[in-house]
Structure 1
């Protein structure tokens, strides 16, 4: 699918998100978060995509967004201690990132409160309607070669 009047841009990528991705420079980070994440309270720039899931947004973003080759480029919020929740969506994230950019090797986990702090310094947060728990990812932008 294509966005109105432009070629090769996924239709899910609206004008605000496209502008944000273009404004970001090398080393800037963007978070794509689930519906439970307190995005509005933490975002410097908030992009709402409530009708979409994280995997759908992640795939579209990676079709345009180069990942950093020099540092960790995909961070996930680790499951809180004593929380028995399963996170099968992480395997989907891994497959999407692997297919989306050769710079991706593996995601890293960071502790919940550290993840919250990290998103506060992200260039933007994309808030989705994702229902899966712990379905939050931070991407670090690389360069176009």
Structure 2
């Protein structure tokens, strides 16, 4: 156990999040998502697991360590409900609260059509699969930067 690290962030997930660069994306998905086949096409090349929790709790854990990109309009995306793009299922409303809390402001999810979501997920750095089967618990987050304060030339603190 590490101090101040969400216990859901296992070593593999921490490694992936730390290895991601500015603009790389992470997918959090539910048990219905084709996580293994999509993850094989990502940069990491394999699925990461966060079994036993739902997507909103996984979002909270990931965003406790991952800064969202402030240089793009939509650093957070959600899979659209097929046939009803404006519908926000409970799992997405719950995840939205986690995003807003992590960012300390309202940051609405950008809707992504189902098949466009699959294609975008294949380009992600990694896929993190939860073990819950709540429909439409699928999200994409774009990593931002955390700028360190300037220090004296050549020096570190």
- TM-score of the pair, normalised by structure 2: 0.83
Regions of 4+ moved over 4 Å: none
Q: Is the 8 A contact 2:55 2:91 kept in 1?
A: no
In the alignment, which of 12, 33, 40 is matched to residue 36 of structure 2?
A: 40
Structure 1 gap ranges (5+): none
Is 1:92 the counterpart of 2:94 in the alignment? yes
Tell me whether 1:27 sits opposite 2:23 in the alignment: yes
Equivalent in the alignment of 1:54: 55
SS where residue 7 of structure 1 aligns? Answer: coil
Segment of structure 1 superposing worse, 47-56 or 30-39: 47-56
Q: Is the 8 A contact 1:68 1:103 kept in 2?
A: no
- Secondary structure (helix, strand or coil) at the match of 1:32 reads strand
Partner of residue 78, structure 2? 76
**Who is 1:137 aligned against?**
139
Report how far residue 129 of structure 1 moved. Answer: 1.0
RMSD: 1.8
Structure 2 unaligned spans of 5+: 148-157
How many residues are paired up? 140
- 2: CA distance, partners of 1:59 / 1:74: 13
